[in-house]
Amino acid sequence: MYDENLVLNIVKNSKEIIIALDLDGNVIFWNKAAEDIFGYEGKEVLGKLYPLVKNKFSYELETILNKTRNKEAITFRTQKQDKEGNELDLILNTNPLYKNDLVIGVSIIIQQADILRKVSYLSIDIQPESREPKRTFNVIRDLIILTIAEDKKTINQISTDSGINWRTVEKHLTYLIGKKFVSEIFSSEYVRIFELTTQGKNHVAKLKTENYKDCDKKT
């Protein structure tokens, strides 16, 4: 079992922007990264209406809360202002928060759109002629493994660094955990963290060896 204080400390100090709202749109969690990007300290927003909307009848907030009540997760792009009025281009990933089987709120992981590496992560409807060739499952899984090899990562960090949609990352992580290439070292209602197992590290070494061989053949 994980120490709950350790869990809270990791989430509070995560570099990912993580906030949580109750079903009335009031802030119940606001981590250090949220303070840094939006300029509001936790004590200014906790227990109050989500500060990035003008009022509780905001269409965006209403949509988030309605989807949450229906136990749906959504990802969308939006523009918001920080406390000083600076414009921010953001990607919001929402997930229902549960207490037992009851939905009690929504967690939101936020990323800045302008620092994302791959446009494909935004789930934009790209015209067929501009799509990249479809990756095989093996290619996707190898890319995920290579991304985690750099450091311990959350699903959203893996998605950002690999350019793979986070829902796809989540599905393939289940497979990789089953095959003992990846282990989930931390899990809470806000975030999950993964690292490579010894078997996963051996697979990375194999991939790098194969890559060197391919390079030698081309030269």
In the chain the domains, ranked by start, together with CATH numbers, are 4-115 (3.30.450.20), 127-218 (1.10.10.10)
Distance CA 195, CA 185 (A): 7
Distance CA 111, CA 50 (A): 17
Q: What proportion of the chain, given as a percentage, has pLDDT over 90?
A: 39
Is the pLDDT at 38 greater than 60? The verdict is yes
Mean pLDDT of 36-61: 87
Question: pLDDT digit string (tens) for 107-123?
Answer: 999 988 765 544 444 44
In terms of pLDDT, which residue wins out, 208 or 147? 147
Mean pLDDT of 49-64: 81
* CB-CB contact of 53 with 75 (8 Å): no
Q: What is the mean pLDDT of the chain?
A: 81
Work out the end-to-end distance of the chain between its first and last CA atoms, rounded to an integer number of angstroms: 52
Mean pLDDT of 26-46: 94
Question: pLDDT digit string (tens) for 1-30?
Answer: 455 666 667 677 778 899 999 999 999 999
Question: pLDDT digit string (tens) for 193-205?
Answer: 899 999 999 999 8
Q: Where would I find the H helices in the chain?
A: 4-12, 32-38, 42-45, 59-69, 137-149, 155-162, 166-178, 198-218
In terms of pLDDT, which residue wins out, 140 or 120? 140
Is the pLDDT at 59 greater than 60? The verdict is yes
8 by Cβ neighbours in 10 Å (0-12 / 13-18 / 19+) ranks as middle
Full-model pTM: 0.54
pLDDT the model gives residue 216: 45
pLDDT the model gives residue 176: 95
In terms of pLDDT, which residue wins out, 5 or 139? 139
Is the pLDDT at 207 greater than 70? The verdict is yes
Residue 57: which pLDDT band, with cuts at 50, 70 and 90? low
Q: What proportion of the chain, given as a percentage, has pLDDT over 70?
A: 79
Is the pLDDT at 180 greater than 90? The verdict is yes
pLDDT the model gives residue 52: 85
